[in-house]
Amino acid sequence: MKDNHASSGSWEKKLISVVIPGFNEAGNITKLTQRLVSILEPSGYNFELVFINDGSSDNSQDLLESLHELDPRINHIRLSRNFGHQNALKAGLDYASGDCVITMDGDLQHPPELLPTFIKKWEEGYDIVYSRRKDASTSGSKFKRVTSNSFYYLLNTVSEVKLEPGTADFRLIDRKVVEVLMKFQETDPFMRGVIKWVGFSQYPIDYIPDARFSGKSKYSFKKMVKFALQGITSFSIRPLYTAVYIGFSFSGISALYVPYVLYSYFNGHVISGWASLMMTIVFIGGLQLIIMGIIGIYIGKVFLQTKQRPNYIVRSTSLAPSKSQWSY
């Protein structure tokens, strides 16, 4: 049986950290803070809220500083620019001090009321309690749901790390898992895949996302495609093998044109085959570009990794100065 993380004699003293990365979410910060405090205060645990300001251009920073003055449990990490959601999430994990860390988005689509359920499962001994989004008629556009399901299907097809559809960055992570994640220095980390990859005892909880409280989604179609490619190429080299198989397949198919070319040549019908020849060249040329693009993505990831640049840069923080050692 799993070891309990909280015993009846010591669990009250444990600290829960809630990490919330955000970009231009000023309209949601106050409401989210109120709901989190109202839920966590009766739990009996000590807690801290850690907002990561991922290069916001609105008044998020002023608001976070004001909230910290009113309640020191509400902390902030201000990054020097926008480093992206996954790197901001990594910054929060590096800085959080809790015996467990809960990560969630700042748009209130991740219901804070689910936190007691997360904590209960953690008390039972689970190291990671993660959420699985269940679609509802109000939970985003049909296009977004279809593309999301397609992403998970493709990822699970080409990767050895299997993610359940709807897995989100809304989870609880035990301190020993956080310590492992802090050692990761991957360029463009894909946290959903990394957390699945590390193992430990994990427990899923299904939820229906709430409607966004304020503002609009920062994930454009272009960003979603980039995120999908980031996830696929972070945990598998199968696309490279697929590119090789496709290359061999179409090389074999193109060989079927040889009899037709010879027939056309000896019968003076060279001009009549021009259309099919051009279509073949265009098709094979496009296929080659796709394959080169796949290879290029992997080479690019190796190139960036060899530079060993930091995942993020902290401009300022309300947390303890000793935490500055994790400013990368």
The structure tokens listed for 137 are 């008629």
What sign does the dihedral 97-103-108-111 (CA atoms) show?
negative
d(CA 63, CA 111): 22
Kindly report the backbone phi and psi dihedral angles of residue 56, in degrees, each rounded to the nearest multiple of 5, phi listed first. Answer: -65, 145
Give me the chain's average pLDDT, please: 76
Residue 12 pLDDT: 52
> β-strands 167-174, 128-133: how paired?
antiparallel
Range of the domain at 260: 238-307
Average pLDDT over residues 101-125: 91
Give Cα 91 distance to the centre of its chain. 13
pLDDT in tens, 310-328: 888 899 898 875 444 444 4
pLDDT in tens, 134-192: 765 444 556 666 666 666 666 666 666 677 777 888 999 999 999 998 888 777 778 88
d(CA 52, CA 73): 14
Residues paired with residue 190 on neighbouring β-strands, in sequence order: none
Residue 138 pLDDT: 45
> 87 lies in a domain?
yes
90 and 148 housed in the same domain: yes
139 and 273 housed in the same domain: no
- Asked if pLDDT for residue 68 goes beyond 60, the answer is yes
> 228 lies in a domain?
no
Token pair 């620019």 is found at: 81
- Asked if pLDDT for residue 221 goes beyond 80, the answer is no
128 and 47 housed in the same domain: yes
317 and 244 housed in the same domain: no
Q: Assign 198 a pLDDT band (cuts: 50, 70, 90).
A: confident
99 and 203 housed in the same domain: yes
- Integer-rounded Cα radius of gyration of the chain: 25
- Asked if pLDDT for residue 75 goes beyond 90, the answer is yes
Residue 324 pLDDT: 40
Token pair 């709901």 is found at: 35
> 86 lies in a domain?
yes
The structure tokens listed for 208 are 């229906």
145 and 190 housed in the same domain: yes
d(CA 185, CA 192): 15
Note whether 141 and 229 are within 8 A (CB). no
Note whether 40 and 30 are within 8 A (CB). no
Residue 305 pLDDT: 62
Residues of the chain above pLDDT 70, percent:
59
More confident of the two residues 78 and 266: 78
> 231 lies in a domain?
no
115 and 252 housed in the same domain: no
- Asked if pLDDT for residue 85 goes beyond 90, the answer is no
> β-strands 100-103, 74-79: how paired?
unpaired
263 and 144 housed in the same domain: no
Residue 326 pLDDT: 43
128 and 185 housed in the same domain: yes
Tally the domains of the chain: 2
Residue 53 pLDDT: 93
Burial call 57-75: b when 16+ CB within 10 Å, e when fewer: eeebbebbeebbeeeebbb
> 112 lies in a domain?
yes
CATH number at residue 162: 3.90.550.10
Residue 121 pLDDT: 94
- Asked if pLDDT for residue 197 goes beyond 70, the answer is yes
> 3 lies in a domain?
no
77 and 186 housed in the same domain: yes
More confident of the two residues 257 and 121: 121
Residues paired with residue 15 on neighbouring β-strands, in sequence order: 46
210 and 259 housed in the same domain: no
Q: Assign 11 a pLDDT band (cuts: 50, 70, 90).
A: very low
pLDDT in tens, 17-41: 999 998 888 888 999 999 999 999 9
Note whether 29 and 106 are within 8 A (CB). yes
Residue 327 pLDDT: 45
> 1 lies in a domain?
no
> 106 lies in a domain?
yes
18 and 118 housed in the same domain: yes
Lowest mean pLDDT among 1-5, 29-33, 60-64, 66-70: 1-5
